Every structure is written in structure tokens, then in C-alpha cells.
Amino acid sequence: MVHPNLHCHSNGLGHTDDLGDAHVATSANTPLRPEAFEMPDEQKIKKIAEHFSQIMDVLGLDLKDDSLSGTPQRVAKMYVNEIFSGLNPANKPAITTFENKYQYKRLVIERNIPLQSTCEHHFQPIFGVAHVAYIPNGRVIGLSKLNRIVDFFARRPQVQERLVMQIAEELKKVLHTEDVAVYIDARHMCVQARGVQHHGASTITAEYSGKFLHEATRYEFIQAIQTKMPD
């Protein structure tokens, strides 16, 4: 879906620039080609390193310098194995749930989950925290798995609105419940390091479903994530 306030320029370039500068997502799913994972990671690293060498060369950098000669390979490995590892379904964490034998029926909240992602419009870092919650149905999940789900969907080129939705949908699927909440507060380097360059600005997105659509439950969640830990 195209943002209603954005207008396409005749050559198409202005339109895509507007989308990127406005941080507009075009899909709730990460845009991927069908054949995205046919190429082995080793080959991807090799090709990315070759292309990044060309970028550095165009910028006028001397790749014969000891400090720069290994940079293309380092960047390629970082892209594939680290900051964009969440693109590959093979890296999706295995999630095991357990029977809710003790019949706990109130909020389970994992808050202040460190979040590191990458803006898909400028490939600049996103840093922040995620808070996730659910109300158990018949199953519960190990707390660390909530962190792993957040990390998996964050480690790809992202738009924060999409990220919060993807995490919520995965939680609903894994836990077989609609009663989930996801809240993200993050700083975007594409806002702080370029463009408007407003340091300290952060973006908040939230996704609520099921019982979290009720004001009282949502209020309990918000109050809990904003409460400071005792010293």
C-alpha cells in the first residue's frame, strides 16, 4: 500500500526517495524474492565482498591499505552472519512451549529486551528495547525464547511498524492465543546521523490484540513496563 500523502514523480526516483525518507513500509512481510535462499551463505559473502570493494573503490578509498584491505570481507560476513541473519528461515529459533499446569492466567511480561535492527531505507542501525507480553492459554513459553523471537525478526532490514507486527504474529502463532502485546521504543540512526539529524529522538510502536485491546489490561501492561526496577 502506498502512503496517501506521497506522490509519484515521473521518473519513479522521487517516489522511492519519498517512501524512504518518510519511513513507509509497503508490506507487513519482509520483501523477499522467492529464490532468496537458493544461494549458499558462503557464496553470498563472496559476492557481497566483491560488490562492497567496488563501493569503496568508487569512494576513492585505497583497498591496498592494511586498514582497509579486509573491510569488504568483514562487512560481507557481518551482513550474512550477524545483522541480517534474521532473513534466513534456517536461523529461526526453535520454540518449545509447555503445558500451563499451574493454570497461571495473568500477564507474563518480558521487558527491556535489547533490540538491534537496521533501517531498510538507509541501512542505518536501529537501537532500542522491546517489551512483550502474553496471557497464557493452554501453553507457556520459556522466557528466553521471547528474547530470541524479538532478535530474529529484528536482524533484517526493517521498518519499525512492520517489526512490531511480525513479533506479535509470531507470538500468537507459537502460543495459540490472541492475547499478546508488543511495544518497541527505538532510536534510528537514519534520523540522528543523517537527514534531520535530531539526536535523542526515539520512535515508539505498539501492537495489541485479544485481551490487550481492553483498556484495563493494556494499562496494566504499560504500567508494568514503565515501572523502574528497585536499586
Catalytic residues: 119-122, 160, 188, 190
Closest CA to 147 of 136, 155, 139: 155
Question: How many whole angstroms separate alpha carbon 98 and alpha carbon 76?
Answer: 39
Given a contact cutoff of 8 angstroms between Cβ atoms, the answer to whether 77 and 45 are in contact is: yes
- Which run of H or of E encompasses 128? strand 125-134
CB within 8 Å of 92: residues ≥ 6 apart: 152
Question: How many whole angstroms separate alpha carbon 43 and alpha carbon 37?
Answer: 11
Place of cell 502485546: 181
Burial label, 64 (beta-carbon count in 10 A; 0-12, 13-18, 19+): exposed
Q: Helical H runs in 102-196? A: 143-154, 160-175, 189-192
**Terminal-residue alpha carbon distance, the chain:** 47
Alpha carbon 169 to chain centroid, angstroms? 13
